[in-house]
Amino acid sequence: MSSSPPPPVGRLAPSPTGLLHLGHARSFLLAWWHSRARGGRILLRIEDLDAGRVRPGLTRELLADLAWLGLDWDGEPLVQSRDTAALRAAADELLLRGLAYPCTCSRRDVELAASAPHPEDGETRYPGTCRGRYASVAAAERESGRPAGVRFRVPDGKVLWRDELRGLSRHDPAREVGDFLVARRDGAYAYQLAVVVDDARQGVTEVLRGDDLAPSTARQLLLQRALGLPHPRWLHVPLVVDEDGRRLAKRHGDVALASLRAEGTDPRAVVAWAARTAGQSAPDRLTPAELLPRFDLARLPLSPVPLAAATLAQLRAARP
């Protein structure tokens, strides 16, 4: 007799570097629905390692946004900056095994040495300036007189992985970004390493997020292989875009959830909008829990979601 698979463990991972907007709301709702509808757990992680961009007091706003939408989570939130020991151990292991190396290049150095930014996401490929140059982080800092970060040594070739929504996907990190940082020169641990380590230590089994992060999946898969960590299931959903086809940004205040909350918008209207754009049948007002019995991610359209000015006006005008 075959046993049924264990309930999934999903996660919400906002970053307090800017206000959450309607695009975030839709992705978070989809992640919550997809896990909860199958009896799964949802964990919350506050990704606040980028101290230079984190805004004081914004974590409180993020939590208020999630509660306003009607989302909940299991257990206490993991705040990344409170415990980086596991990140330090992972970076040290990569260095010890020769899978990473010290790098003293600044962002400006990389921009001057590398070719043009990648046209899709503006990332600049690292040309390998420090690869094989220094024996250790201490030697790099001593010889250069500059702080050193740590870069993962990216193998050549394409990385293939399966997206549960889009099927077989492939990216070529060596060509797209080259060796990428796992620890920055300012001492902060980089996003790619933090995501991999924290997904593993939280027991996350599936990651539903915006498709702008699909290229990161290949890099995270390489790190998971290098560190012997499990691979979650990945699902990348289309983004919400403005009328010009550009993805929404945290600087767009009129689509910020905090602005809608302050204006008295009914959050059930936002939830209903997100449900309908995901191919679900929904009335004009809906709570996340009310959709659970009939939620089906298979109905999700795999094209960007345009947010027309008229739609935004209707949402902003919706009142309880």
Q: Which positions are catalytic?
A: 250
Which stretches within 131-213 are classed as H helix? 137-144, 173-176, 191-202
Asked if 219 contacts 192 with a C-beta cutoff of 8 angstroms, the reply is yes
Joined together, the tokens standing for residue 180 give 């990428």
What does the angle CA 186 – CA 189 – CA 190 come to, to the nearest 5 degrees?
105
Which stretches within the chain are classed as H helix? 22-36, 58-69, 85-96, 107-113, 137-144, 173-176, 191-202, 214-227, 257-263, 267-277, 288-291, 309-317
311: nearest Cα among 286, 274, 280: 274
70: nearest Cα among 285, 219, 245: 285
Report the DSSP beta bridge partners of residue 68. Answer: none
**End-to-end CA, the chain:** 50
Distance CA 290, CA 69 (A): 13
The DSSP secondary-structure symbol of 67 reads H
Joined together, the tokens standing for residue 297 give 């991610």
Residue type, 92: D
